[in-house]
Amino acid sequence: MQTVLRILIILGAALMIYNIAGFIKYARFISERGHWGEKKSILYIPIVLLVFFFIGYLGVALFSRPNLLMALILFFGSIFVFIMYKYINRITETIIEKEKLEAQLAAEEETNKSKTAFLAGISHEMRTPMNVILGLDKIALKKPDLDPETRDSLEKIGQSGEHLLGLINNILDVNRINSGELKAKSSKFELKDCFAQINAIAETLCSDKGLLYKTNIDKNAYGTFLGDEMIIKQIVLGLIDNAVKYTDAPGTVGFSAKVSTENDRSKTVEIKVSDTGIGMSEAFMDRIFDGFEREDESATDRFGGIGLGLSSVKKKLGLIGGSIYVSSTKGKGSVFTVNIPLEKYEEEVTGERPDPIVNITGRRILIVEDLEVNAEIVHDLLDLEDAISEHAENGKVAVDMFEASPEYYYDAVLMDLRMPVMDGLEAAKCIRALPRKDAKTVPILALTANAFPSDIRDTFAAGMNEHLVKPVDPDRLYISLEHWIKESHKEREGGGT
């Protein structure tokens, strides 16, 4: 019997050694995560008590004859301390996991900030030359004496430029969709015109690669609708661009459209984009719309791209309530089928309504732009409408010119955001703060390549009236200028401050 009791005590002593080691580890862990100072010693009090407990074990085991009650008390005392250690150890592991998660979230947040800053920079750098290309193209198209062949070439340059701008926007839109900042708009548009623009770009893409482009559009699909025409074009062109990319010459890319369902208020248009390209396996079709996915990574060097096109298409379809599915055979091609619900446009029965006549003749506009070529484009666009323009190469010069001018000398200011010396946001704030009446009422319109929602918020926070994104549509520019100039005159006549 004494032998059994001593074995229990020895087991309890061994378990106590394990407990003491565990509490030492826990005390070190806690002390490293706080500024304990002189209070640090309190962490080691439980360890000292457990050491005395262990010495008691040895004393009983070596110098006395333990009875059953004493042996059980000592043994189950070690068990109790062991359970307490395991519970504390569990808390320790939870704290460590929480710290890892917090560090991971902080790293992801920092990555997102870096990504947003990177995309904002890329947006500005890529939009700036696109502003030059599309701006000069639109100015050239306004000349009435162009021969048909030249006009056709300029129109194709403009269409291809718009497509390239759409690809730039594609990268930005994925980020904006993920953050919930991109929303679908609703405006009147003609689906026939939308498809004509798609076909013009698709024919060029296919021709350049030696592919045959086939279209089959049911005329019943045409009509006037309310929706986001730009998103629809981006969706279809994204699919066509994908088809062209993965189809080698001589191959075929097809685009068809028909009405799948219709009622008095809406139509659902079924669009199919097909190709005779490399196709894909059934397993890959389940993840083809995930971002950065490719079935064969070795195809990256051959076909290019970053794997965001189809992901963007799927997300944009979600914004307009559409759906998409794909069928494909490896080595034989793919067919993407899209269903887009469209609301019919009901024309008000009030007689014909002529297009509004925009008049900014004689208005003096201050163009604040650090790039000379961009300033010249805006000057030429304003000159076409007989407006007067002056140029400031940065925000500081703009503030000085405005301050030195008579009151109400400038009718409006077109302000770039990114400029040396003083940026557009600071310049707008300085103009608004000037101690003169027109400083509060003069329209200040941002005209910038910065297209992020945060940029728009910063624009309005700086006191500007509107945010126009380069490359700007000339008609949009004229309409915005006339609107805000009229509003400022109303405010002036009404005695606004």
- Quick: pLDDT tens for 52-67: 777 776 676 666 666 6
Q: What is the pLDDT of residue 349?
A: 44
**Residue recorded with tokens 């051959």:** 302
What are the φ/ψ torsions at residue 146 (nearest 5 degrees)?
Answer: -75, 140
Average pLDDT over residues 387-415: 95
Number of domains in the chain: 3
Q: What is the pLDDT of residue 402?
A: 96
Average pLDDT over residues 221-229: 90
- 395 in the same domain as 336: no
Question: Over 70: is that where the pLDDT of 294 sits?
Answer: no
Q: What is the pLDDT of residue 311?
A: 79
Q: What integer best gives the mean pLDDT of the chain?
A: 81
Q: What is the pLDDT of residue 298?
A: 47
Q: Is the residue at 48 inside a domain?
A: yes
- 446 in the same domain as 401: yes
- 93 in the same domain as 218: no
Q: What is the pLDDT of residue 353?
A: 44
**In which domain, by residue range, is 279 found?**
186-344
pLDDT confidence tier of residue 436, bands split at 50, 70 and 90: very high
Domain boundary among 73, 106, 139: 106
- 372 in the same domain as 338: no
Higher pLDDT pick, 378 / 135: 378
Longest CA–CA separation in the chain, Å: 120
Question: Over 70: is that where the pLDDT of 40 sits?
Answer: no
Domain boundary among 276, 311, 344: 344
**Alpha carbon distance 158, 236 (integer Å):** 18
Please report, for the domain that includes residue 340, its CATH number.
Answer: 3.30.565.10
pTM of the entire predicted model: 0.48
Q: Is the residue at 129 inside a domain?
A: no
Question: Over 50: is that where the pLDDT of 395 sits?
Answer: yes
- 326 in the same domain as 205: yes
pLDDT confidence tier of residue 496, bands split at 50, 70 and 90: very low
- 324 in the same domain as 429: no
Q: What is the pLDDT of residue 489?
A: 86
Q: Is the residue at 163 inside a domain?
A: no
In one letter, which amino acid is 417? L
- 202 in the same domain as 95: no
Higher pLDDT pick, 177 / 364: 364
Of the listed ranges 15-19, 258-262, 463-467, the least confidently predicted one is: 15-19
**Residues near 444 by beta carbon (within 8 Å), at least 6 away in sequence:** 412, 413, 415, 428, 431, 432, 463, 464, 465
Of the listed ranges 16-20, 44-48, 233-237, 260-264, the least confidently predicted one is: 44-48
- Write the burial class of residue 446 (CB in 10 Å: 0-12 exposed, 13-18 middle, 19+ buried): buried
pLDDT confidence tier of residue 446, bands split at 50, 70 and 90: very high
Cα distances from 123 to residues 70, 120, 139, 198, 448, in angstroms, run: 79, 5, 23, 24, 10
37-64 burial, b if ≥16 CB within 10 A, otherwise e? eeeeeebeebbeebeebbeebeebbeee
Domain boundary among 89, 106, 123: 106
% of the chain with per-residue pLDDT over 70: 79
Q: What is the pLDDT of residue 291?
A: 54
Cα distances from 395 to residues 62, 368, 429, 436, 481, in angstroms, run: 90, 7, 10, 18, 20
Average pLDDT over residues 350-378: 78
Tokens of 434: 């000037």
Q: What is the pLDDT of residue 358?
A: 66
- 428 in the same domain as 378: yes
Q: What is the pLDDT of residue 359?
A: 84
Q: What is the pLDDT of residue 292?
A: 46
* HEC-encoded secondary structure of 273-333: EEECCCCCCHHHHCCCCCCCCCCCCCHHHHHCCCCCHHHHHHHHHHHCCCEEEEEEECCCE
- 336 in the same domain as 192: yes
Please report, for the domain that includes residue 457, its CATH number.
Answer: 3.40.50.2300
What are the φ/ψ torsions at residue 395 (nearest 5 degrees)?
Answer: -65, -35
Higher pLDDT pick, 383 / 305: 383
- 312 in the same domain as 247: yes
Of the listed ranges 89-93, 116-120, 312-316, 415-419, the least confidently predicted one is: 116-120
Q: What is the pLDDT of residue 442?
A: 94
- 484 in the same domain as 403: yes
- 202 in the same domain as 318: yes
DSSP state letter for 160: H
